[in-house]
Amino acid sequence: MTSGNRRLALALLLACLPATAEGQERVTERTLKLAPGAEPPQATLADMAWLAGHWVGPALGGEAEEIWSPPKAGAMMGMYRLVRDGKPVFYEFQTLVEVSGSLVLRLKHFNPDLVGWEEKQKSVEFPLVGLGEGIVQFEGMSFHREGDAKLTVYLAIEGKDGTVHEEAFSYTRARPDKQ
């Protein structure tokens, strides 16, 4: 993994700010994690079905794109790519699955040549932390939905120096006639 990729690698905080609600602790301004011993809230894929579709927008100094399938066979499948200066920077393969009555978002990162960042048997996992009106919180990642056409994803990213900052991905739903 290159040093640039390490800066983008996702990490959960070891230290956290004061609790925000029962069972939740703040990671960044708009991201949370489960408090030690807390159980994830009950949820199903139906709670995330609105995410299905093609989302595009600026991020990380380039253009980001996410494509999510509708729920089927107990999972939603997603793909992500970041393009900068006309070249792919990295890709992600994602799944959103029901686990023990709640949801987990899993992903794996890949370089443009499809060499994976994570070990073969590992993925990055984001358990569900909370659901609210227009907001879905996973550990270190939150989805803020505005109607059916706008979505901002906030992501806690750990830098090489161990500090964590929040990155915003501002998406709009791509119209089929504009793709």
8-state DSSP, 177: G
pLDDT in tens, 111-140: 999 999 999 999 999 999 999 889 999 999
14 neighbors 28 (Cβ within 8 angstroms): no
Place of tokens 């569900």: 128
Instruction: Specify the pTM.
Output: 0.82
Q: Which residue has the tokens 């109607």?
A: 147
pLDDT, one tens digit per residue, over 34-77 is 889 889 999 999 999 999 999 999 999 999 999 999 999 999 99
CATH number of the structural domain 3-178: 2.40.128.20
For residue 2, count other CB atoms closer than 10 A to its CB.
10
DSSP character for 122?
-
Digit-coded pLDDT (tens) for 160-179: 898 999 999 999 999 765 55
Question: Alpha-carbon distance 1 to 27, whole Å?
Answer: 25
Cα–Cα–Cα angle for 151, 138, 56, nearest 5°?
Answer: 25
Q: Rounded to 5 degrees, what are φ and ψ at 8?
A: -85, -15
In 3-state terms, what secondary structure has residue 8? helix
Alpha carbons 32 and 124: distance in angstroms, whole number: 16
The tokens for 9 are: 């690698």
